[in-house]
Amino acid sequence: MVEIKSLEKSFGKLKVLRGIDLSIRKGSLTAILGPNASGKTTIIKSILGLVIPDKGEIFVDGNSVLGNWTYRNSIGYMPQIARFPDNLTIREVINMLKDIRGSNGSADALLEMFELQAALKQSLRNLSGGTRQKVNAVLALMFDAPLLIMDEPTSGLDPVSLIKLKEYIVKEREKGKTILLTTHIMGLVEELADEIVFLLEGKIYFKGSVQQLLNSYHEERVERAIAKMMEQSLKSNV
């Protein structure tokens, strides 16, 4: 579904991505993990065409993303922080996004799932952070895109909404959708991920299944395995 070859990106003197090669299988859920400034968001924004790489190629469904914008119609994107025009209501921002994408989409079931029907006429400026994140999820999922990219999707969600979102993600993967997410919640990774990609300083330090990660570091929890991985990395760089 997504193929990344020899991807490099620098911002000024800061080299953020250092020759990333990554294949994301169709119908899988891949978790991209790593400490802050490891390159996770830059990879996501490169796939979306929001960042232009210095070198390398990205293919979505076999088509290069360079000089092409139509592939974005096959992507549902949930950014880490939802930023919308504060003067709009929930209903208005949903309609605005439908107009921009030229697609009707279907938000009703999602609005019901997150219990947002009663808030449709509220201005976004009056919503709590958690409610804005629910709106963020609705906008990302409403077009039934075959590729979902979710950057810290659980940020700010209450426990009930978190469970509902996890269940929805599982159902979407069972339908054959490809899902790429970043998160700092290792329990979410253990529950959902088919594959883990761990980044350090712009390079892929580990790529494999949850069980492969646990076996490699002789641990029973992902967070402990990653902690051990980072300790070994620091020692090797001394």
pLDDT above 60: residue 238: no
Mean pLDDT of 205-218: 94
Give the DSSP letter of residue 131: H
Q: What is the pTM of this model?
A: 0.92
Least confident of 75-84, 127-136, 150-159, 170-179: 75-84
> Which is nearest to 20 in space by CA: 32, 38, 35, 6?
6
Q: What is the dihedral of CA 162, 49, 75, 20, to 10 degrees?
A: -70
SS (H, E, C) 14-62: EEEEEEEEEEECCCCEEEEECCCCCCHHHHHHHHHCCCCCCEEEEEECC
The total domain count for the chain is 1
Residue 65: strand, helix, or coil? coil
pLDDT tens digit string along 3-27?
999 999 999 999 999 999 999 999 9
Residue 155 pLDDT: 87
CATH at 136: 3.40.50.300
Tell me which DSSP letter residue 237 carries.
H
pLDDT tens digits for range 100-148: 888 778 899 999 999 999 999 999 999 998 999 999 999 999 999 999 9
Question: In Å, what is the CA distance from 22 to each residue of 17, 30, 148?
Answer: 12, 11, 17
H helix or E strand, kind and range, residue 153? none
Owning domain of residue 105 = 2-237
